[in-house]
């Protein structure tokens, strides 16, 4: 994954993050967030995966059920944010993918391997957002 | 719902709006728009609903057909805007949700109850957008 | 299609692009990109189409398979970007649409006729993004 700063003004920065074939999206986003010490970002992306693991949060089991999609899919929408859990930036992303017949699947993005590209535009704000553990779900949620 | 201004420069403001369990998304967005006198905003969001009512605009009947989804769903993409109808800010939002098997549903967002979170990033621009009634559809549409 | 500049600061510009009944989305976006000499933009949109042609990139055939949807659909998410191929701005957009029963379809946006509106918010950055032909896929991809 390569990145380029495409705008910066008064503490707000916008980056293009371009993933190539074989790159894994969530680990690439997490690495970028850590290396750039992100504290409050949002992003959108389009592209394609050669395989992806979606998640659905099972409210009874209080954990993500994994839904693997083992085929080439279009990334129709990838929307997410970055917030701090303690000092660590955490990436949260949801995705809708398109299959060869135009039908769609979607979920929490657990893992996705890019082919041939994933084009992410990410904007980091000067004010930070922080996460805390939510007692009911056990999830780390943004609290303001 | 709680909000935090995460960036402001030369009349453009970006807010994080964080909804919690039980909050209804459309009324929360409408209240925020009114209280902050929004006149031209766009937003994206991810999170989850415990139930949601989607709408499909029936072109023959010239009204929204309601499509209720009465189960816990991931909010995969929520995209919308705010524009003025007269002096009143109007929120327009479309949503794609993900079910437990990774299949998706979507429509015009009529009503959605959050569980456990909905993370909205909204940017308000200095120049306003205005809506007028479109004679053919009967809908209030942005005209510029 | 009509456009309005709703924010400008230090080389970053944000436009609202409002399409009306009968307008074709991709050609309208391409024309706007050319007339405004866009070099690095991202956009999101919602609205509705009266018909749309989706694309799925067939990795074996190395071409887009066309998936026509010949009915009134909600545009649930339209996400895209603009980058330069040589001196020519190229629009890349993926869409998810909603049918009358709340089911969804999606793909690469090849062609979509608006009815009654498509509301696009597009932000152009001061730094440009450039495309090059990817040998494996034959597609023009952003390289940074």
- The pLDDT, as a whole number, for residue B95 is 98
What's residue C53's pLDDT? 98
Q: Which residues of C touch A12 (CB under 8 A)?
A: none
Shortest Cα distance, chain A CAs vs residue B136, angstroms: 30
> Quick count: other Cβ atoms within 10 Å of Cβ B34?
13
Q: Indicate yes or no: CB of A137 within 8 angstroms of CB of B119.
A: no
Q: Would you state the pLDDT for residue B31?
A: 98
pLDDT, tens digit, 9 for 90 and up, residues C36-68: 999 999 999 999 999 999 999 999 999 999 999
Mean pLDDT estimate for chain B:
97
**Cα gap C103→A103, rounded to integer Å:** 9
Among A29, A20, A133, A51, CA closest to A86:
A133
Q: Which residues in chain B have Cβ-Cβ distances shorter than 8 Å to A126?
A: 6-7
Size of interface B-C (CB pairs under 8 A): 110
From C51's Cα to the closest Cα of chain B, the distance in A is 13
Kindly state the DSSP code that residue B102 receives in the 8-state scheme: S
Residue numbers in chain B where pLDDT is lower than 70: none
Chain B residues in contact with A142 (beta carbon < 8 A)? 16, 18, 117, 119
> Which of B42, B49, B119, B122 to probe the A interface (max A CBs under 10 A)?
B119
Count of CA atoms in the C-beta half-sphere (13 A) of A24: 9
Measure in Å the smallest separation between the Cα of A23 and chain B Cα atoms: 22
Q: What is the mean pLDDT of residues C15-27?
A: 98
* Peptide bond connecting A55 to the previous residue in cis, omega within 30 degrees of 0: no
Query: What is the rounded CA–CA span in Å between residue C92 and residue C80?
Result: 5
pLDDT at B1: 97
Percent above pLDDT 70 for chain A: 100
Is there a contact between B136 and C21 if contact means CB atoms under 8 Å apart? yes
Which of C69, C106, C137 is opposite residue A116, by nearest beta carbon?
A: C137
What pLDDT score was predicted for residue C107? 98
Contacts of A50 in chain C (CB under 8 A): 59
By a Cβ cutoff of 8 Å, what residues of chain A touch chain C? 2-7, 9, 14, 16, 18, 21, 44-46, 48, 50, 72, 74-77, 79, 96, 98-104, 115-117, 119, 121
Which of C7, C100, C121 is the closest to B56 by Cβ?
Answer: C100
For the four alpha carbons of C70, C76, C82 and C85, in that order, the dihedral sign comes to: negative
Q: Are A95 and A52 in contact (CB under 8 A)?
A: yes
CA distance A3 to chain C (A): 7
- Is residue B63 within 8 Å of B137, Cβ to Cβ? no
Averaged pLDDT for residues A111-129: 97
Cross-chain CB nearest to C144 (options A2, A14, A98):
A2
Mean pLDDT (chain C) is 97
The per-residue pLDDT for B32 is 98
ipTM of the complex: 0.97
Shortest CA gap A109–chain C (Å): 17
Nearest to C98 among B92, B106, B127 (CB): B106
Residues of chain B positioned with their CB less than 8 A from the CB of A58? 100
- Of the candidates B46, B1, B9, the one whose C-alpha atom is nearest the C-alpha of residue B123 is B9
Query: Are B136 and C7 a contacting pair at CB < 8 A?
Result: no
> What would the pLDDT profile of C80-118 be if each residue is shown by its tens digit?
999 999 999 999 999 999 999 999 999 999 999 999 999
Instruction: Report the pLDDT value the prediction gives residue B85, as an integer from 0 to 100.
Output: 97
Residue C122 structure tokens: 């597009």
Q: What is the DSSP letter of C129?
A: -
Contacts for A86-90: CB closer than 8 Å, 24+ residues apart? A88/A34, A89/A30, A89/A33, A89/A34, A89/A37, A89/A38, A89/A39, A90/A33, A90/A131, A90/A140
Helix (H) or strand (E) holding B99: none
Peptide bond into B116 cis (omega under 30): yes
The 10 Å Cβ neighbour count of residue A88 is 12
Chains contacting A (3 or more CB pairs within 8 Å):
B, C
- Measuring CA to CA, how many Å separate C138 from each of B31, C5, C59, C61? 49, 35, 10, 11
Terminal-to-terminal C-alpha distance of chain C: 32
Share of chain B above pLDDT 70, in %: 100
At C9-20, the pLDDT tens digits run 988 999 999 999
């Amino acid at each position: 994954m390569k990145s380029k700063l495409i705008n910066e003004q008064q503490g707000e920065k916008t980056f293009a993050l371009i993933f190539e074939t074989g790159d894994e999206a969530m680990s690439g986003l997490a690495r970028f967030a850590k290396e750039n010490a992100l504290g409050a970002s949002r992003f959108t992306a389009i592209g394609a995966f050669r395989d992806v693991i979606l998640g659905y949060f099972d409210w009874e089991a209080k954990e993500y059920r994994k839904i693997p999609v083992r085929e080439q899919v279009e990334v129709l929408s990838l929307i997410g944010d970055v917030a701090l859990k303690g000092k660590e930036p955490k990436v949260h992303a949801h995705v809708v993918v398109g299959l060869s017949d135009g039908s769609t699947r979607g979920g929490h993005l657990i893992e996705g391997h890019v082919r041939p590209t994933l084009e992410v535009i990410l904007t980091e704000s000067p004010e930070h957002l922080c996460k805390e553990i939510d007692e009911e779900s056990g999830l780390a949620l943004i609290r303001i």
